Structure 1
Amino acid sequence: MSKIVLCETKPAKTAYTIHKINRSFQSYEELCWLLEHYLIFFLSEGIDRSLKNYLKEYLNLEIKSEDAVQQVKEIINFQNYFTADEKIQFQQKMRTTYLYSAAKKQKLLADMYLKHHLYLMALTSYQKLEMVSGKLNPNEQMHVWYHMGLCQSRMFCFDEAKESFRKALMLKPEKQIQEAYFMISYLSGDEKSFVEDGKAVSFDEEHCKTIYENLKECEKEIFEKEQFDKLAKIDYHRKKADKSMTRRLVKTTLGKWKDEYKAEII
């Protein structure tokens, strides 16, 4: 069960919006909630002059340090939002994060943006990984390519997404990445290009054609029926169609992607 926190401080007359994470707050308690859920952002970006001025003027909270870690500590120690035990745990989490390599911290920042559907910020953060120090292990690198593909697909950059998924599959042929790869291939091309895409990740031509026909039939069923009971869990080796994969082909899901992307860029 989540804890219930009562706002004990007086809220500001106007809210402050942190545009990079598209979140606003108007009280000390709301700011602490943001710290809990977006910690890697505050540790990476710090508290800038504009936010400092707002905290001092409207919440009577003066941030003196220029160091991001110390700034977060000043905030959590300002009032009693966190219990003594929670403060210890929170500071331990900060110390652990601080010890990560620059690449690891950059990946965590990008993952946070993706989690909150901020695709432009996430993609940009993933792309910056090439310019920071430290190395990611193969599994982490695989997830970077996969997540880049998710960002690109939500931004309707299907060719770029397909290439990112392909690179991820070259590192590890995970099922969820295969599903994403074939979904994007199906959405962006015809049967011939779909088969070529399948061959590029070591699927034979007959197998690719079977998957394509399964998707085509399932898409037809989806548009004709409201229920999806007949769609079974995907198993490429048994050549069955995938409920979760084919449902993404309906325009409602594409509409959701569009709405999320539109909300971010406006």
Structure 2
Amino acid sequence: MSGYILCQLKRAEIPYYIENISTNIYSIEELCYYFYHNIYLLDESILNEHLCDWIRKEFGLEKLYRRLYKVLEEDMGTGEFILAVFKEINYLTHQEFKKLNEQISLLEQQPKILREKKKGDYLVENKMYVNAVKIYENALLKEDNEGLGEQFRGGIYHNMGCAYLHLFQFEEAAECFLKAYQFLHTKQVLSHYLMACCMGNPEEFSGICNRMGASPQMQEEIKEKLKEAGETVEEPQNQELGKCLEGFIKEYHRSTGF
């Protein structure tokens, strides 16, 4: 994709608000940029009649409006919808769109609850923690019709705990990690639970460790990690702590594949 794309149409007087990234879109070019860089977030909450109406009202693109409505009515899929928008301003080369469409096709083949979790993970990676928590909560309400199992549900709780940690909501994080541990029963998740407890309630840390059967070695490892990160509740912008938290999900992905 080229480095610069000139705006070919006027800016909208009324922006299109995308809730999951808390962003206003003012032009077709901005909309294309969002589509291209956020494929995990593209769903019916964005690709809907409201977006079609906004495109017609703000830019007068009647032909595109009719095409997008047809895509929605005939349930042609995400790829067909965004292709129509890209074509309007020649946003991508043929090869770029082909590659993107392959990614979307693979994504659409995945179970809905898995796509929802990946959406939450994507938001965490992009530091949109409040929205990530909402997505994870929504995913937990969905039925696991594909039989992904307890490990998958535990993974959602684990990653939601990571999002809460980034928000320095230690009690909520600990609750999520504890639920994850009840599903997964791994040393890794137990360590994350105890770390959240130590951050939020250091006075009770030893007692919680004893109740959970954590070895003295694990307790010392947790204290050492937090010491290295320079963790204090009064310093929420601590970069080393941020790196420590970001490693939680990556470490979990490597060990589980979810």
- TM-score, normalising length: structure 1: 0.70
**Contact 1:166/1:201 (<8 A) preserved:** no
Structure 2 segments unaligned to the other structure (5+ residues): 242-258
Evaluate the alpha carbon distance shift between residue 50 and residue 44 of structure 1 in structure 2; reply closer, same or farther with a 3 A threshold: closer
Q: Determine the C-alpha separation between the residues in 2 that align with 1:116 and 1:7.
A: 26
2:113 to 103, 111, 133: 103
Q: Deviations over 1:181-211 (max 9, x none)?
A: 34321232243x201322354313x4466x3
Task: Please state how far the C-alpha of 1:142 moved relative to its aligned partner.
Answer: 4.2
Does residue 173 of the first structure (1) align with residue 187 of the second (2)? Answer: yes
Amino acid at match of 1:195: S
Q: Determine the C-alpha separation between the residues in 2 that align with 1:244 and 1:39.
A: 38
Does residue 53 of the first structure (1) align with residue 53 of the second (2)? Answer: yes
Q: Deviations over 1:54-110 (max 9, x none)?
A: 212333242222135232232223221110001111111111111001221111222
Q: Determine the C-alpha separation between the residues in 2 that align with 1:240 and 1:50.
A: 51
Match of 2:30 in 1: 30
Q: Determine the C-alpha separation between the residues in 1 that align with 2:158 and 2:234.
A: 23
**Contact 1:162/1:185 (<8 A) preserved:** yes
Evaluate the alpha carbon distance shift between residue 201 and residue 78 of structure 1 in structure 2; reply closer, same or farther with a 3 A threshold: farther
Taking only the aligned residue pairs, the percentage that are identical comes to: 17
- Residue 248 of structure 1 aligns to a residue whose secondary structure is coil
Match of 2:8 in 1: 9
Count of matched residue positions in the alignment of Structure 1 and Structure 2: 225
Q: Determine the C-alpha separation between the residues in 2 that align with 1:203 and 1:27.
A: 54
**Contact 1:20/1:121 (<8 A) preserved:** yes
**Contact 1:110/1:126 (<8 A) preserved:** yes
1:241 to 224, 227, 248: 224
Task: Please state how far the C-alpha of 1:117 moved relative to its aligned partner.
Answer: 3.3
Evaluate the alpha carbon distance shift between residue 208 and residue 43 of structure 1 in structure 2; reply closer, same or farther with a 3 A threshold: closer
Amino acid at match of 2:214: F
Q: Deviations over 1:211-265 (max 9, x none)?
A: 3xxxxxxxxxxxxxxxxxxxxxxxx2xx8823686323252326999xxxxxxxx
Task: Please state how far the C-alpha of 1:114 moved relative to its aligned partner.
Answer: 2.6
**Contact 1:9/1:27 (<8 A) preserved:** no
Q: Determine the C-alpha separation between the residues in 1 that align with 2:30 and 2:212.
A: 47
RMSD: 3.1
Task: Please state how far the C-alpha of 1:119 moved relative to its aligned partner.
Answer: 3.1
Task: Please state how far the C-alpha of 1:26 moved relative to its aligned partner.
Answer: 2.1
Q: Detail structure 1 runs of 4+ shifted over 6 Å in the superposition.
A: none
Q: Deviations over 1:125-160 (max 9, x none)?
A: 222334233233666444322211123334454333
